[in-house]
Amino acid sequence: MYDLLNQMGKRIFDRRKQLRMTQEELAEKAQITPQTVSTAELGKKALRPENIIRICTALEISTDYLLMGKVNREDYSNLTDKFQLLSPDQYRYLEDIINSYIAAVSTNSIKDTAKRKSCGKNSPG
């Protein structure tokens, strides 16, 4: 359970930072106390179900993502809604950025796999 709370806390912290929010801003938006945000981010205490929902709504993430780190249709839908605000030119520019990012991540993943194999980490022990 402790590990789950730490993982959830890290996801809250990372998303809050990604949105450039302070703990106080998140607390206000989620209608909870800054203390609740702090203890959740530190993984010190489990959140009440209603506070999980409030935090997810404020951070624009699904409960699946907060609880298990899984991206679901709701998460994709939130992103798709933002795409619709872009002009056609902005959309194509974003598409180029995403394609470049995916290519870079894929290349790094292939390099990491090759590196592990060359170090013998995938060979039977």
| Contact criterion met (CB below 8 Å) for 12 and 41 | yes
Residue with tokens 């938006």: 29
Which tokens in the block code for residue 35?
């203390």
Secondary element (H or E) of residue 45: none
pLDDT at residue 58, as a whole number: 97
Backbone angles phi, psi at 2, to 5 degrees: -60, -40
pLDDT at residue 107, as a whole number: 80
pLDDT at residue 111, as a whole number: 67
Secondary element (H or E) of residue 124: none
Enter the pTM of the model: 0.71
Distance CA 75, CA 73 (A): 5
Q: What is the DSSP letter of 48?
A: P
Give me the residues of the chain with pLDDT under 70, please. Answer: 1, 109-125
pLDDT at residue 1, as a whole number: 66
